[in-house]
């Protein structure tokens, strides 16, 4: 059951001490296919020590909407059931993780805490605070359970584009794309002192915005995620290579909410896609490119770029061209609120926004169009970036994720892209318009399905 040692790195300088082992669960919320949990279990078994799982829940966790809380808590409830079936309790502690986690570790006299990898600032700040907390003096270990190739192994620097990152990933895949071992069970006594979580009380303790309602028709949790993966591979993988850019085709995986919450290991998806490659080789290759290369490139970007959600993080050519065209007249100009309420002149853009608001997801091709039009119709590039990131994080079930950050920065600012022919407003940033969308798919069918509202005044600018 040994976890590849390159997946593991210490945070801080304190060595392991005798006592219980705690898995501090964050980005990877599942019992199966979880390298962080497997490593914690191996340490506990080797030491003959108890193993506990922990999740810290701030009362106002961002974006603090009813939609995200519902998906998070129902998913965690399913994870708790699976953990307890293995004799592992899950403790849900309220409060700022920087304070709540060290307090819990001290209370249970933990000798080692294992946590999962997260390249975003809030997660990294919480881990740094726990590693240096004076109230607990055990060892904190970080395990990348989210990437097939650990992000801190894949590259020691921020990669310029997929073209520079892909060879490094492909070289390392044979070493890291390995089957998962089974999670061992612990004796029933390991549950002593830990009653099941009161999930209704946990929900009641949160300060939430009820205006962003839960999404009907999508079930959180690892079991639902595995079912969704199986359905995609069986039914839609053959069409993925050719039809994934058609928002009406239903050819995408739709797995991003489960990936984001850690209900499904990307490595499990990669292993299962390789099994399906015999009957859908083109679809499997295209899916693996998105799943491994492109998704892990986003983690690489956020890991190595401190200012990952600002225009200052863009390549020099992109910053220069956006600056040169910042004062260009806009064909339309909308406020953040007008974007949020789908109150633009464009039926197609309004349909995309309404899909995001109602369904908590936006087709990948439409997300590019959606973000690029926010750039074209905002007063400044800075305002466009702020609006796109805010709306994505507020409404998307996969919001506040490295892939979402990188996707918005690609669309608005040319991240991981190259210069194109110069245009007003965009400069050399890649351009998209409604007329181009019409060449790709049935725009009218998409508008009819999602309720676009106002008619497009001009296909060239809409």
Angle made by CA atoms 194, 28, 201, in degrees to the nearest 5: 40
pLDDT at 87 over 80: yes
Quote the pLDDT of residue 457. Answer: 41
CB-CB contact of 267 with 241 (8 Å): no
Q: What is the pLDDT of residue 453?
A: 56
Predicted local confidence at residue 330, as pLDDT: 96
- β pairing state of 51-57 and 90-94: parallel
pLDDT for the residue numbered 188: 94
Among residues 113, 116, 114, 157, the alpha carbon closest in space to that of 28 is found at: 116
Smallest CA-to-CA distance from 210 within 354, 65, 356 is with 65
**pLDDT for 454:** 47
Question: What pLDDT, in 10s, does the model give residues 102-127?
Answer: 999 999 999 999 999 999 999 999 99
CB contact set of 133 (below 8 Å; sequence gap of 6+): 98, 101, 102
Is residue 92 scored above 90 in pLDDT?
yes
pLDDT tens per residue across span 248-282: 999 999 999 999 999 999 999 999 999 999 999 99
pLDDT tens by residue, 3-20: 999 999 999 889 999 999
Domains of the chain with bracketed CATH? 5-146 (3.40.50.620), 147-179+221-304 (1.25.40.80), 311-450 (1.10.579.10)
Helices (H) and strands (E) in the chain, counts: 21, 6
Residue that is written with structure tokens 């990152």 in the block: 165
Q: What digits encode the pLDDT tens for the residues 202-238?
A: 999 999 999 999 999 999 999 999 999 999 999 999 9
- 429, two tokens: 């940033």
Average pLDDT value for the chain = 95
Contact 228/258 with Cβ under 8 angstroms?
A: yes
Dist. CA 414–CA 427, nearest whole Å:
10
> Would you give the distance in Å from CA 345 to the centre of its chain?
31
Q: Cα 415–370–460 angle (5° rounding)?
A: 105
Tokens for 158, please give them: 């921020």
Q: What does the DSSP assignment read for 29-82?
A: --SSS-HHHHHHHHHHHHHT--EEEEEEE-TT-TT-BHHHHHHHHHHHHHHHHH
Per-residue model confidence (pLDDT) at position 456: 45
Question: Which pLDDT score, from 0 to 100, does residue 205 have?
Answer: 93
Q: Are 226 and 188 in contact, with CB atoms under 8 Å apart? A: no
Supply the pLDDT for residue 63: 85
Spatial CA neighbour of 27 closest among 226, 258, 246, 309: 258
Could you count the other beta carbons within 10 Å of the beta carbon of residue 424?
12
Nearest residue to 184 via CA among 46, 17, 29, 77: 46
In the chain, pLDDT over 70 holds for what percent of residues? 97
């Amino acid at each position: 059951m040994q976890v590849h040692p390159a997946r593991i790195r210490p945070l801080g300088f304190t060595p392991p001490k005798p006592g219980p082992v705690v898995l501090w669960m964050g980005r990877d919320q599942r019992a199966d296919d979880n390298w962080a949990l497997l490593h914690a279990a191996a340490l506990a078994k080797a030491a003959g020590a108890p193993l506990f799982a922990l999740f810290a829940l701030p009362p106002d966790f961002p974006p603090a909407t009813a939609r995200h809380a519902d998906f998070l808590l129902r998913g965690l409830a399913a994870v708790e059931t699976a953990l307890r079936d293995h004799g592992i309790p899950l403790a849900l502690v309220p409060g700022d993780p920087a304070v709540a986690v060290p307090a819990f570790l001290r209370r249970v006299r933990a000798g080692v805490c294992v946590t999962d990898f997260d390249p975003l600032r809030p997660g990294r700040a919480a881990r740094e605070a726990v590693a240096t907390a004076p109230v607990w003096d055990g060892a904190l270990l970080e395990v990348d359970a989210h990437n097939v190739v650990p992000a801190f192994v894949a590259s020691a620097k921020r990669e310029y584009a997929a073209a520079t990152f892909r060879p490094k990933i492909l070289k390392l895949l044979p070493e890291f794309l390995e089957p998962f071992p089974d999670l061992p069970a612990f004796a029933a006594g390991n549950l002593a002192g830990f009653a099941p979580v009161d999930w209704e009380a946990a929900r009641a303790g949160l300060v939430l915005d009820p205006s962003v309602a839960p999404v009907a028709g999508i079930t959180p949790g690892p079991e639902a995620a595995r079912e969704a993966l199986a359905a995609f591979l069986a039914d839609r993988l053959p069409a993925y290579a050719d039809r994934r850019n058609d928002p009406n085709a239903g050819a995408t995986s739709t797995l991003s909410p489960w990936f984001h919450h850690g209900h499904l290991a990307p490595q499990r998806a990669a292993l299962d896609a390789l099994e399906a490659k015999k009957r859908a080789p083109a679809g499997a290759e295209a899916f693996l490119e998105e799943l491994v290369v492109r998704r892990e490139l986003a983690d690489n970007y956020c890991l190595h770029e401190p200012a990952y959600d600002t225009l200052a993080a863009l390549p020099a050519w992109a910053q220069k061209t956006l600056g040169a065209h910042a004062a260009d007249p806009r064909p339309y100009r909308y406020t953040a609120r007008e974007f949020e309420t789908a109150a633009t002149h464009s039926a197609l853009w309004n349909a995309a926004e309404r899909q995001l608001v109602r369904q908590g997801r936006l087709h990948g091709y439409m997300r590019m169009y959606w973000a690029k039009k926010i750039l074209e119709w905002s007063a400044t590039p800075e305002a466009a970036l702020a609006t796109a990131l805010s709306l994505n994080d507020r409404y998307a079930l996969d919001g506040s994720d490295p892939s979402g950050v990188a996707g918005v920065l690609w669309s608005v600012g040319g991240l991981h892209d190259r210069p194109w022919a110069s245009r007003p407003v965009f400069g050399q940033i890649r351009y998209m318009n409604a007329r181009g969308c019409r060449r790709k798919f049935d725009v009218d069918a998409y508008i009819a399905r999602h309720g676009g509202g106002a008619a497009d005044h001009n296909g060239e600018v809409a």
